[in-house]
Structure 1
Amino acid sequence: MKLTIHQDLAVHETEIIINCAHVDGRLRHLIELIRQHGFSLTGYQEGKEYQIPLEQIYFMDSADGKTFLYLEKEVYFCRDTLASLEEKLFHTSFVRISKNCIINTDYLKSVRPLYNHRLEAFLVNGETQIVTRNYIEVLKNKLKGENL
């Protein structure tokens, strides 16, 4: 792989162009990282508004009509719905695993099968989430690098 960087003070917006013969799994992952770099979500905590970079979010869930963003050790309220977040984050490392949860696959440590065709997902921060049967195939496709 060849990497060329052209630095020019006249450039107002960074543009990344990838020239390749075909897109393989490693390149898909690189594209995914580029897409989510610099993208953030607005979170609220104790009446204050914060811009939270995507790469800091481990998972998001919804309870009682409210959406929460979970970082390594902090939790923020988010005004977006899980459906709108799922749409915004489709081409990133985030994937919906149940009706009320979206995880960042960059923080997925392992999964194990459970009864009733479900999976238990283990995140690197020690959290566990249940992957319901309707979303198992979606998770598998995301991990294979599809839908990026």
Structure 2
Amino acid sequence: MKISVQEVDSCEEEEIIIKCHEMNDDIMELVRRLKMEQHRLTAYRDDKVYRLSLHDVYYFETVDSKAFLYCEDKVYESKLKLYEFEDLTRASKFFRASKSTIINTTKISHVKPSMSGRFEVYLKNGECVLVSRQYVPELKKQIGL
């Protein structure tokens, strides 16, 4: 079996192509694992390393040059930069809510207009996250307002 890796420009989409004589259980398992891995993140908490599903993340936030993943009832630290997380979630139901926050729209319970054109987003875990005025149009588009 031949294995090749080709680097592409950052503007090009990364792609994995599998060429095989027949689709067998090993190849199907490899494809399944690659697809699952695409939606997993490495996170840190209490000197332990975790692999989290992207679906479990309520929002991502940077504070004082540190990045955090907020899940239902736990907070994890991440080595990702905000723009890296945004690139990773571009095809998912996440949107930029401020210069330091990205929210998972599938975790939104309800929204409420706030002062100065901002919105308050209430998540299913009870947390409230502010959406900056410049990102409100994207929020409205994402949730169909």
**TM tier, smaller:** 0.7 to 0.9
> What is the number of residues matched between the two proteins?
118
Local SS of the residue matching 1:61:
strand
Q: Which residue of 2 aligns with 1:74?
A: 74
Q: Which residue of 2 aligns with 1:143?
A: 143
Q: Which has the higher relative contact order, 1 or 2, with Cα contacts under 8 A spaced 6 or more apart?
A: 1
Q: CA deviation at 1:38?
A: 5.6
Q: CA deviation at 1:55?
A: 1.1
Are 1:37 and 1:54, in contact at CA under 8 Å, matched by a contact in 2? no
Q: CA deviation at 1:10?
A: 5.8
Are 1:36 and 1:55, in contact at CA under 8 Å, matched by a contact in 2? no
Deviations 1:19-65 (A, max 9, x none): xxxxxxxxxxxxxxxx8886111100122211100111111111001
* Structure 1 residues 46-85: aligned runs within 5 Å: 46-85=46-85
State TM-score, norm by structure 1. 0.72
Q: Which residue of 2 aligns with 1:95?
A: 95
Task: Work out the percentage of aligned pairs sharing the same amino acid.
Answer: 32
Are 1:118 and 1:130, in contact at CA under 8 Å, matched by a contact in 2? yes
* Structure 1 residues 1-148: aligned runs within 5 Å: 9=25, 11-12=27-28, 13-14=31-32, 39-144=39-144
Q: CA deviation at 1:127?
A: 0.1
State TM-score, norm by structure 2. 0.74
Deviations 1:50-109 (A, max 9, x none): 110011111111100100001111110000011111111111011110111111111101
Local SS of the residue matching 2:92:
coil
Give the Cα separation in 1 of the matches to 2:81 and 2:126. Answer: 25
Larger radius of gyration: 2
Local SS of the residue matching 1:73:
coil
Instruction: Name stretches of at least 5 consecutive residues in structure 2 with no aligned partner.
Output: 1-22
Query: What is the one-letter code of the residue matched to 1:92?
Result: S
Instruction: Name stretches of at least 5 consecutive residues in structure 1 with no aligned partner.
Output: 1-6, 15-34
Deviations 1:4-25 (A, max 9, x none): xxx96264325xxxxxxxxxxx
Give the Cα separation in 1 of the matches to 2:36 and 2:83. Answer: 18
